[in-house]
């Protein structure tokens, strides 16, 4: 079974503020942040601005690359091999042309992607 990882409700609202306008069948309700999946017959509710698009992490990162020339790079590393700590951590960098915006550590790939997207929206756009 395929599951999708969506940006958080707060990130979805930031994306909308910054101009993200890509079609999606998934949306968050603005009144309570509930994730909803619609078919094309639900356009009436969407037109009433009761919802905000809920893109996947990959959709948001692609939009940042293609529209804003911002690159979120996430990779896995062992935590501390020298001390026999082989747990995996995920590191994240954001690139904007020649500028590199530091690395951070996260426990999951999805957390690192979300953090990179949020960093771009809050600091670079």
Residue 4 included in any domain: no
Residue 3 included in any domain: no
| pTM reported for the whole predicted model | 0.81
- Tell me which residue range forms the domain holding 32: 9-124
92-103 in b/e burial notation, b at 16+ Cβ within 10 A?
bbbeeeeeebee
* Angle between the N-to-C axes of helices 9-17 and 57-68, in degrees from 0 to 180, rounded to the nearest 10: 20
Examine the pLDDT at 37 and tell me if it is beyond 50: yes
Bigger pLDDT: 79 or 35?
35
Residue 2 included in any domain: no
Residue 83 included in any domain: yes
How many Å apart are CA 19 and CA 17, to the nearest integer?
6
Q: Using a pLDDT cut of 70, give the percent of the chain over it.
A: 79
What's the pLDDT band for 40 if we cut at 50, 70, 90? very low
Give the pair of three-digit tokens for residue 45: 């509710």
How many Å apart are CA 120 and CA 125, to the nearest integer?
6
| Overall number of domains in the chain | 1
């Amino acid at each position: 079974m395929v599951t999708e990882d969506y940006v958080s409700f707060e990130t979805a609202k930031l994306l909308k503020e910054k101009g993200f306008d890509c079609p999606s069948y998934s949306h968050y309700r603005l009144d309570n942040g509930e994730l909803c999946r619609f078919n094309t017959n639900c356009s009436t509710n969407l037109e009433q601005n009761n919802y905000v698009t809920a893109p996947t992490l990959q959709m948001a990162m692609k939009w940042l690359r293609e529209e804003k020339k911002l690159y979120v790079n996430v990779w896995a590393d062992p935590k501390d091999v020298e001390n026999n700590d082989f747990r995996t951590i995920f590191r994240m960098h954001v690139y904007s042309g020649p500028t590199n915006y530091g690395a951070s550590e996260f426990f999951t790939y999805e957390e690192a992607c979300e953090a990179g997207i949020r960093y771009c929206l809050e600091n670079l756009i």
